[in-house]
Amino acid sequence: MSAAELDADLRAQRDAWVARMTHESRLSPHSLSNYQRDFRQFTEFLFAHFERPVRLDDFATLKLRDLRAFLAARRGAGADSRSLLRSLSGLRNFNSFLRLKGFGVSDAFDLVNMPKQKRTLPRPVEAEHIVQLIELALETPKQKWVGQRDAALLTLLYGGGLRISEALSLCVGDIPQQADSGLRVVGKGSKMREVPLLPIMHQALTATIELTPYAALPADPLFRGVRGGRLSPTQAQAMLAKHRRALNLPDSVTPHALRHSFATHLLSNGGDLRTIQELLGHARLSSTQIYTEVDSASLLSVYRKAHKRSG
């Protein structure tokens, strides 16, 4: 959308909103990009809907039918419920910003019915397959240090239940000299938590530091790309995708699936939900309770297979 299609007041508040998210809220680049896209899609719709430039006061006079028409248009363009929920979240964020600045805000965003999202259970990866992935990651690269890096990363994702962003943000100085010290991880909302560091995890991480052919000062990245920069999530995902294809594993085997597997396997072996919640860094227990359903589904699958063999 060109700047001419937004009035000057709306452009100014949009820019101030983006600046606040960037410098004060410190949203991730991914979330910031999503919010900006949500705003752009909505104002593009309003421009066509009203057949005139979009004004700041449109956010105060917006009717519920206008918002419903936007959601219907997005649905017609192929957006699923998850995308619509994210769009509403981004627009509500902007509305909250306007409210804090003292501008009038329509109550349409509070009245609209949220699209129903189909709940899907995470698919854990079998422990045997995780071991195969780690072994393949260690042996495949021609450069020994790259293989050690990849194997250590997969070991950390599964053994510690880290998000890929949490693992890749670690620096050399974050790894304690002794495994029993635990690993301090900065999660969502800049919340710190401590993850137990199993001896095999500590060994893999220290070997990575020793073999990486770049500086290993405390502030240097733990996981580096071949050119020395910090390894990116895209590079890590591509690495895992390559290895899962080699093992003929499903596309559901992703870095995040290793985190799911960590939680599911802990629960299967008697771990309690509160402890798993703390290890995962979930703010709410309800986010962790989904793993009780995963475990039940896994047990049911095992029962059915056993029943078929006995029949």
The whole-angstrom separation of Cα 9 and Cα 3 is 11
Q: Answer yes or no: 259 catalytic.
A: yes
Place of tokens 């078929």: 308
Q: Which of 14, 74, 163, 202 is catalytic?
A: 163
Q: Answer yes or no: 188 catalytic.
A: yes
Q: Answer yes or no: 305 catalytic.
A: no
Q: Answer yes or no: 282 catalytic.
A: yes
CB 34 within 8 A of CB 18: no
| H or E element, residue 59 | helix 58-61
Q: Which of 82, 188, 245, 304 is catalytic?
A: 188
Q: Answer yes or no: 163 catalytic.
A: yes
Percent helix, percent strand, percent coil in the chain, to nearest 5 = 65, 5, 30
CA 50 to chain centre: 36
Give the DSSP letter of residue 177: S
**Closest Cα partner for 239 from 160, 128, 162, 152?**
152
> What is the dihedral sign for C-alpha 264, 268, 271, 274?
positive
CB 191 within 8 A of CB 139: no
Q: Which of 74, 202, 259, 265 is catalytic?
A: 259
The whole-angstrom separation of Cα 43 and Cα 41 is 6
Q: Answer yes or no: 35 catalytic.
A: no
Beta bridge partner(s), residue 54:
6
Catalytic residues: 163, 188, 256, 259, 282, 291
